[in-house]
A and B are shown apart, each in its own frame.
Chain A
Amino acid sequence: AQSVAQPEDQVNVAEGNPLTVKCTYSVSGNPYLFWYVQYPNRGLQFLLKYITGDNLVKGSYGFEAEFNKSQTSFHLKKPSALVSDSALYFCAVRKADKLIFGTGTRLQVFP
């Protein structure tokens, strides 16, 4: 069954430091993986996706994600965190024609 796991409920990082939000996946076949962000009182917004090709995927707002097949991971990264990056982040995998989301990780960036 297609699923993703986000092992951390919350990640705290100081502004200017690099950040990583973790995601592991369990899929049969080739995975189609996504990251979405949810700001307070806003809908989920697409950040980036991996379908095939380069293992390092670049997305919106300076975020990137690294697909690692041997570790079945798709961690979200940013070299230098901003306070405005504080939000809820969801990893997702495509299953048939829909997305299956993880439980989310709250990112808190402190000034």
Chain B
Amino acid sequence: DTGVSQNPRHKITKRGQNVTFRCDPISEHNRLYWYRQTLGQGPEFLTYFQNEAQLEKSRLLSDRFSAERPKGSFSTLEIQRTEQGDSAMYLCASSLVGPGTNEKLFFGSGTQLSVL
């Protein structure tokens, strides 16, 4: 069962540094989502892709955040000039959308970012 894979699992960085996370979705899935989760909160939507097209970005996603899905397969999320407030679990999810599909999101285990 090749589920959604996220790397790294943990990332510790100093304030001001850039970080990049990777997500490998389930291979046939055409939608890919990024969420952020902080302690005591539910996942908050950041952005999503339909194949390689980025279709929506949350207002939570400042200019320091950029996401790509260059070939419609894996995706990267980069945070530039990290701030302590960026510390969170970053979750990736994928789904297959189309006629007859069940709208189920499959989540990865997340990347825990700590900004010191």
Judge whether A43 and B48 touch: CB under 8 Å: no
Instruction: Look across to chain B and name the residue whose beta carbon is closest to the beta carbon of A45.
Output: B107
- Given the interface pairs A43-B4, A43-B91, the reply to whether A101 lies near B104 with Cβ below 8 Å is no
Interface-forming stretch among A64-72, A79-87, A89-97? A89-97
Judge whether B103 and A103 touch: CB under 8 Å: no
With the chains together, A41 CA to B91 CA distance in Å?
12
Judge whether B109 and A43 touch: CB under 8 Å: yes
With the chains together, A35 CA to B41 CA distance in Å?
15
Give the contacts of A45-59 with B (CB-CB under 8 A).
45-46, 49, 51
Judge whether B45 and A99 touch: CB under 8 Å: yes
With the chains together, A51 CA to B103 CA distance in Å?
10
- Interface residue from A42, A44, A96, A97 paired with B43 (Cβ < 8 Å): A44
Judge whether B45 and A100 touch: CB under 8 Å: yes
Which B residues lie within 8 Å of A101 (CB)?
35, 42-44
With the chains together, A42 CA to B3 CA distance in Å?
12
Contact with B along A1-20 (1 / 0, CB 8 A): 00000000100000000000
- Interface residue from A42, A49, A104 paired with B109 (Cβ < 8 Å): A42
Judge whether A104 and B33 touch: CB under 8 Å: no
- Given the interface pairs A43-B4, A97-B48, A98-B33, the reply to whether A103 lies near B42 with Cβ below 8 Å is yes
With the chains together, A57 CA to B104 CA distance in Å?
15
Q: A residues bordering B, Cβ < 8 Å?
A: 9, 32, 36, 41-46, 49, 51, 90, 92, 94, 96-104
